[in-house]
Amino acid sequence: MEALATASVRPPGPPNAGFLLGVLPRFRKDPAGYLLSVAQTYGDLAYMRLGPQHAYVVSHPDWIRDILVTQQSNFTKSRMLERAKVLLGDGLLTSEGDFHTRQRRLVQPAFHRDRLTRYAADMVACAERASASWTPGLERDVHLEMTRLTLAIVGRTLFSADVSSEADEIGRAMTQIFSLFDTLLMPFSDWIQKLPIPPVRRFEKARDKLDQIVYGLIAQRRASGEDTGDLLSMLLLAQDEDDRAGMTDKQVRDEALTLLIAGHETTANALTWTWYLLSQNPEAEARLHAEIDGVLGGSSPAFDDVQRLPYTSGVFAEALRLYPPAWAIGRRAREDYSIGNYTIPAKSILLMSPWVVQRDPRWWPEPERFNPDRWHPDEAAKRPKFAYFPFGGGARVCIGERFAWSEGVLVLATIAQRWKMRLVPGHPVETRAVITLRPKHGMKMTLASR
Ligand code: HEM
């Protein structure tokens, strides 16, 4: 009887703003900040209603580990990501079940260590090229610069393609897409995307533009018949080898677009926030410069240098802690699921936020302080594993995690050898949590040579 009584009780949580909307209006204003205030007020498990959906904010590392790893078969991805199918189709990010497992097996070899070693040279070359035209005193939107750079990197490494000529077009299309995408990801949005209203039209036009670029890359490769050993070749070869269960152009497009988007937007944001944090923390910046100069002695970095640059890695890790590009990870319970004394009913949404947990003073003393020394192995060993999960965990862990680490460290080392960046006075710095955590107003910085 006792168990039944507790089972029907919900954990504490914020009151609804309106009967239909639940807490949606407040959540939408500043989603990451709102989740933080909910966790700070109501604890490790809080209930709130997002429109018609019952959502639980889970903020204890052990419970997060259970959901993402040990009990992962109890969950699917949340509907928020299912809605991303309007853009990404059935790529790795949005697919489920056996289809996902098969696609993941197919794509995984593109991220093996020997491949990453080769990609490293491209990452450094792209960073050198991106900064070649910079002059001291120049003002730049560093977010735009980093977006162009990471797009060039993912294009070159995974598709052996020079997408820099299309980079601006892709960037514009992405901005258009993101401006409506947050609406499309919200509850009640299913019908919005069927309306012939201008924002939906703009979204469709931008998506068509991206399709044109990606189908163009596929067609070029088919025409050349070349096996360049990159991801695109692998996807196309898998299709050729098995003409019954092979991939259609549409499936290749879905995986390619997924990697193009998942592989550049996240890293661009991470690097932008890193430059910002360095500009605000001159002591850390000086230590970064000292390490890079000492290890590289003026030469270009290579893959093996990544592990010789522990402070640089700590800088990147700390930026991912304070500004995790994937600021929330969602799952949906297949069946009723127990957390502590509570039963989470089937179909509920569970939200786990790196933005929230990575600011929890239980695991991160002085959480708002940018302190790369936290990443000394002795310090890191004291924390529960899922006190830090910018790349998620379990079967759906980011496939590009190691790619992103080497990209982050190599781009930082390449650019910081010659440049430092200063925030333009008065430039507002705010976050905008859509799918990723972007700087709301871009990041206007002045370039200074070292
Ligand atoms: C700092 C950079 C990055 C961050 C913070 C990041 C974060 C994440 C997170 C949190 C997930 C899991 C989402 C979930 O469980 O619901 C994920 C999945 C994924 N990421 Fe990343 N990512 C980054 C870079 C990359 C790169 C460079 C690539 C590819 C080149 C990539 C490709 C993917 C793909 C394809 C998935 C879906 C994996 C699957 O479900 O099988 N990501 N990423």
Is the CB of 104 inside a 6 Å radius of any atom of ligand 1? yes
Contact 258, 426 (CB under 8 A): no
CA geometry: angle at 198 spanning 213 and 186, to 5°? 85
- Residue whose entry in the numeric block shows the structure tokens 């333009």: 424
For 263, counting Cβ atoms within 10 Å of its Cβ (0-12 exposed, 13-18 middle, 19+ buried), the class is buried
What pLDDT was estimated at residue 1? 37
- pLDDT tens per residue across span 220-237: 888 887 877 777 887 787
Is the CB of 399 inside a 6 Å radius of any atom of ligand 1? yes
Helix (H) / strand (E) element for 53: namely strand 53-58
What radius of gyration do the chain's Cα atoms show? 22
Dihedral over Cα of 158, 324, 326, 270: its sign: negative
CA geometry: angle at 396 spanning 37 and 340, to 5°? 50
144 C-alpha to center of ligand 1: Å? Answer: 20
Quick one: residue 366, left, alpha or beta (phi over 0 = left, psi -120 to 50 = alpha)?
Answer: left
146 C-alpha to center of ligand 1: Å? Answer: 18
* Best residue among 87, 396, 398 to mutate for probing ligand 1, ranked by most atoms within 8 Å of CB: 398
Is the CB of 390 inside a 6 Å radius of any atom of ligand 1? yes
Confidence tier at 3 by pLDDT (50, 70, 90): very low
Instruction: Out of 109-118, 162-171, 361-370, 431-440, give the one with best mean pLDDT.
Output: 361-370
What pLDDT was estimated at residue 392? 97
Contact 42, 11 (CB under 8 A): yes
221 C-alpha to center of ligand 1: Å? Answer: 25
CA geometry: angle at 237 spanning 234 and 242, to 5°? 130
Is the CB of 161 inside a 6 Å radius of any atom of ligand 1? no
Kindly give the number of the ligand 1 atom that is closest to the alpha carbon of 331: 16
Tokens of 431: 């976050």
Q: Are strands 349-352 and 53-58 parallel, antiparallel or unpaired?
A: parallel
55 C-alpha to center of ligand 1: Å? Answer: 23
Residue 379 confidence (pLDDT) above 60: yes
Residue 276 confidence (pLDDT) above 70: yes
Residue 432 confidence (pLDDT) above 70: yes
Is the CB of 349 inside a 6 Å radius of any atom of ligand 1? no
Kindly give the number of the ligand 1 atom that is closest to the alpha carbon of 259: 29
Tokens of 267: 């890293």
What pLDDT was estimated at residue 180? 67
Q: Which residues contact 388 (CB under 8 A, 6 or more apart)?
A: 317, 321, 354, 357, 358, 363
Confidence tier at 189 by pLDDT (50, 70, 90): low
186 C-alpha to center of ligand 1: Å? Answer: 21
Contact 38, 72 (CB under 8 A): no
Is the CB of 10 inside a 6 Å radius of any atom of ligand 1? no
391 C-alpha to center of ligand 1: Å? Answer: 6
Contact 127, 414 (CB under 8 A): yes
- pLDDT tens per residue across span 301-317: 999 999 999 999 999 99
Q: Which residues contact 1 (CB under 8 A, 6 or more apart)?
A: none
27 C-alpha to center of ligand 1: Å? Answer: 24
Tokens of 237: 């070869």
Q: At residue 31, what are phi and psi to the nearest 5 degrees?
A: -55, -45
Kindly give the number of the ligand 1 atom that is closest to the alpha carbon of 258: 35
Q: Tell me how far apart the alpha carbons of residues 344 and 333 are, in angstroms, rounded to a whole number.
A: 8
- Identity of residue 343: T
Q: Which residues contact 20 (CB under 8 A, 6 or more apart)?
A: 51, 52
Mapping DSSP to helix (H, G, I), strand (E, B) and coil, where does residue 153 land?
helix
Is the CB of 352 inside a 6 Å radius of any atom of ligand 1? no
397 C-alpha to center of ligand 1: Å? Answer: 7
Q: Tell me how far apart the alpha carbons of residues 37 and 14 are, in angstroms, rounded to a whole number.
A: 10
Kindly give the number of the ligand 1 atom that is closest to the alpha carbon of 104: 41
Which protein residue has the closest C-alpha to ligand 1 atom 37? 93
Is the CB of 398 inside a 6 Å radius of any atom of ligand 1? yes
Give the residue from 112, 147, 405, 178 showing the smallest Cα distance to 260.
Answer: 147
Is the CB of 396 inside a 6 Å radius of any atom of ligand 1? yes
What pLDDT was estimated at residue 274? 98
Which protein residue has the closest C-alpha to ligand 1 atom 43? 398
Give 282-290 contacts, CB < 8 A, sequence gap 24+. Answer: 284/315, 284/370, 284/371, 284/372, 285/420, 287/311, 287/372, 288/312, 288/315, 288/372, 288/412, 288/416, 289/416, 289/420, 289/450
Helix (H) / strand (E) element for 320: namely helix 310-322
Higher-confidence position of 410 and 91: 410
Residue 44 confidence (pLDDT) above 90: yes
Is the CB of 415 inside a 6 Å radius of any atom of ligand 1? no
- The number of CA neighbours under 13 Å toward the Cβ of 396 is 26
Q: Are strands 342-344 and 337-339 parallel, antiparallel or unpaired?
A: antiparallel
Is the CB of 159 inside a 6 Å radius of any atom of ligand 1? no
Contact 322, 429 (CB under 8 A): no
What pLDDT was estimated at residue 5? 42
Dihedral over Cα of 132, 137, 138, 142: its sign: positive
